[in-house]
Amino acid sequence: MKTKFETLMGLIVLLLIFVSCNTQTFEHYKAKAGNAKAQYNLGRCYFEGEGITMDKAKAVEWWQKAAEQGYAEAQYYLGRCYYEGEGVPMNKATAVEWYQKAAEQGLAEAQFNLGLCFRRGAGVAMNKAKAAEWCQKAAKQGLAEAQCALGNCYTEGKGVPMNKVKAAEWYQKSARQGYAQAQFNLGNCYYEGEGVPMNKATAVEWYQKAAEQGLAEAQFNLGLCFCCGAGVAMNKAKAAEWYQKSARQGNAEAQFNLGLYYFKDNGSVTKALEWLTKAAKQGHTGAKMLLNMIIE
């Protein structure tokens, strides 16, 4: 026999299911009645398969309706669908049109994606100045990806005058939000003393943060720091650990360095051959030369 508590919990679960189902139905009703926010939400449900069978073509239909009413988020997602060819034939020029509409309303994600289109010449004529301009708008709103991309613009002098100090500033803003690529780039700035005073210990800190998020380049650079004792106490075993993480992601330099470690420092010829072969297959010249030496 059920206790009062079990009965009450059962009723609560049924009530939640009832509310959820009716919310979906009500949202559908509002969307059909022309409510732009409801149309956008319904599009998300169809796109992600939330409470409804996934149907990206239907998602596009609802986003189109909301986008035509000026709903910025729908314009942005509709742009993404055209860019990727999801639920609609790929058309990067149409993607740019929708990104532009959302970007002009101040949506940071749309501003960033529009900047990328100008940078790549995707759906629009390549224009590095416009790319930097739109990235900056998004970066100023705090979008970490845009802040990192703007840092790249200043590093390379593309669309803006080269300015390593400003590059480091934007990498720092992005890195503090946990964006791995910016953490890696900022680590490079500190390692080389570009835009900031050289500080290899600080470089190691930023490499570590990016490496722990799985960024292969950061894992490799962190391995180098441990190998050379740059900014951290020399530790060949730790170096090998980070090389291995990077090597498993296909980084040829890491594969070569790991093979070299096993050959010179660990004495495991079998493992050395394994990693050197992987690097050589990717065209790594040093790995090919060392392999020939070992085999001969």
DSSP 8-state secondary structure symbol assigned to residue 179: -
Residue 217 contacts residue 188 (beta carbons within 8 Å): no
Q: Tell me the pLDDT of the chain (296 aa) as tens digits.
A: 456 655 555 555 444 444 444 445 656 757 777 789 989 999 999 999 988 899 999 999 999 999 999 999 999 999 999 999 999 999 999 999 999 999 999 999 999 999 999 999 999 999 999 999 999 999 999 999 999 999 999 999 999 999 999 999 999 999 999 999 999 999 999 999 999 999 999 999 999 999 999 999 999 999 999 999 999 999 999 999 999 999 999 999 999 999 999 998 877 889 999 999 999 999 999 999 988 888 77
What are the φ/ψ torsions at residue 219 (nearest 5 degrees)? Answer: -60, -40
Nearest to 192 by CA among 175, 168, 226: 168
> So what's the pLDDT on residue 195?
98
If you search the block for the tokens 């959820």, which residue do you land on?
Answer: 20
> So what's the pLDDT on residue 277?
94
What residues contact 29, with CB distance under 8 A and at least 6 apart?
none
Q: CA–CA separation, 69 vs 39, rounded Å?
A: 10
* Two structure tokens written together for 24: 């979906």
* Two structure tokens written together for 268: 């495991």
> So what's the pLDDT on residue 265?
84
If you search the block for the tokens 């509002």, which residue do you land on?
Answer: 30
Nearest to 174 by CA among 112, 260, 97: 112
Nearest to 200 by CA among 240, 169, 231, 222: 231
- The model's pTM is 0.87
Q: Which residue type, as a one-letter code, is found at position 278? A: K
pLDDT digits (tens, 9 = 90+) for 190-234: 999 999 999 999 999 999 999 999 999 999 999 999 999 999 999
264: burial class by Cβ within 10 Å (0-12, 13-18, 19+)?
exposed
